[in-house]
Amino acid sequence: MKQLPSALEFSHQLFTERVKSGDTVVDCTVGNGHDTLFLANLVGPQGTIYGFDIQASAIKNTRRLLANNHVNLENVYLYNLSHSLVDEILPYETTIAGAIFNLGYLPGGDKTIVTYSETTIKAIQGCLSRLCKNGIVVLVIYYGHPGGEKEKKDVLEFGKHLDQKRYNVLTYKFINQQHWPPFVMVIQRID
């Protein structure tokens, strides 16, 4: 029998089970590009990806990673901008099947460049406004860094107050792990 998936594995499983070839998806924290590559393989050459990161090096490295993995870059739009601009950047009337966030800092990068609740919550709202029915916004929440606890608290508070008639909101967390185990919050639009 298999072990339970890690937070990261669970976040990908949610997409694998729902997102299909040709869909449009958003990676709100591109970083080293691992999620962008994962999403590119899911949506395929007919799909479209929008990605955001405030670090120019993240965008550059991700373009390289995608090219090295023979991803057709024609429908991949990567922006060196804050994810808080997602609703402004996505073309008018574009709807998305899902969006992913990895909160915190970039592993192997500058640990002082982190996500913050104000911009994260604005980005979640932007993604929700574009989400198709049954689409998902998935956040993998790392919070062991300075400021991480505040972002975690604010994001959970935001999720808790979403109208249950419009959204399913759940968390996936190992409650017996020490220190600051990453956990997942998922928002699914149900109306």
Ligand X SMILES: C[S@@+](CC[C@H](N)C(=O)[O-])C[C@H]1O[C@@H](n2cnc3c(N)ncnc32)[C@H](O)[C@@H]1O
CB of 120 to ligand X, least distance (A): 7
Among 63, 74, 80, residue whose Cα is nearest residue 29: 80
Q: Binding ligand X by CB under 6 A: which of 11, 24, 102, 117?
A: 102
- Using CB under 6 A as the binding rule, whether residue 170 contacts ligand X is answered as no
Rounded to 5 degrees, what angle do the CA atoms 7, 130, 13 make? 25
Which stretch, 51-59, 131-139, 168-176, 181-189, contacts ligand X (CB under 6 A)? 51-59
CB of 32 to ligand X, least distance (A): 3
Q: Binding ligand X by CB under 6 A: which of 55, 75, 125, 171?
A: 55
Q: Binding ligand X by CB under 6 A: which of 6, 13, 75, 119?
A: 119
Q: Which is nearer to ligand X, 68 or 168 (CB)?
A: 68
Residue with nearest beta carbon to ligand X? 31
Burial bucket for residue 6 (CB in 10 Å: 0-12, 13-18, 19+):
middle
Q: Which is nearer to ligand X, 106 or 186 (CB)?
A: 106
CB atoms within 10 A of CB 142: 21
CB atoms within 10 A of CB 89: 16
Q: Binding ligand X by CB under 6 A: which of 58, 155, 186, 187?
A: 58
Strands 48-52 and 167-172: unpaired
How far is Cα 188 from Cα 15, in angstroms, rounded to an integer?
12
- Using CB under 6 A as the binding rule, whether residue 31 contacts ligand X is answered as yes
How far is Cα 181 from Cα 76, in angstroms, rounded to an integer?
31
Q: Binding ligand X by CB under 6 A: which of 11, 19, 49, 52?
A: 52
Q: Name residue 170's beta-bridge partners.
A: 186
- Using CB under 6 A as the binding rule, whether residue 115 contacts ligand X is answered as yes
Q: Which is nearer to ligand X, 93 or 126 (CB)?
A: 126
Q: Which is nearer to ligand X, 37 or 131 (CB)?
A: 37
Cα distances from 56 to residues 51, 60, 180, in angstroms, run 12, 6, 28
Positions that interact with ligand X (CB under 6 A): 29, 31-35, 52-55, 58, 82-84, 102, 104, 106, 113, 115, 119
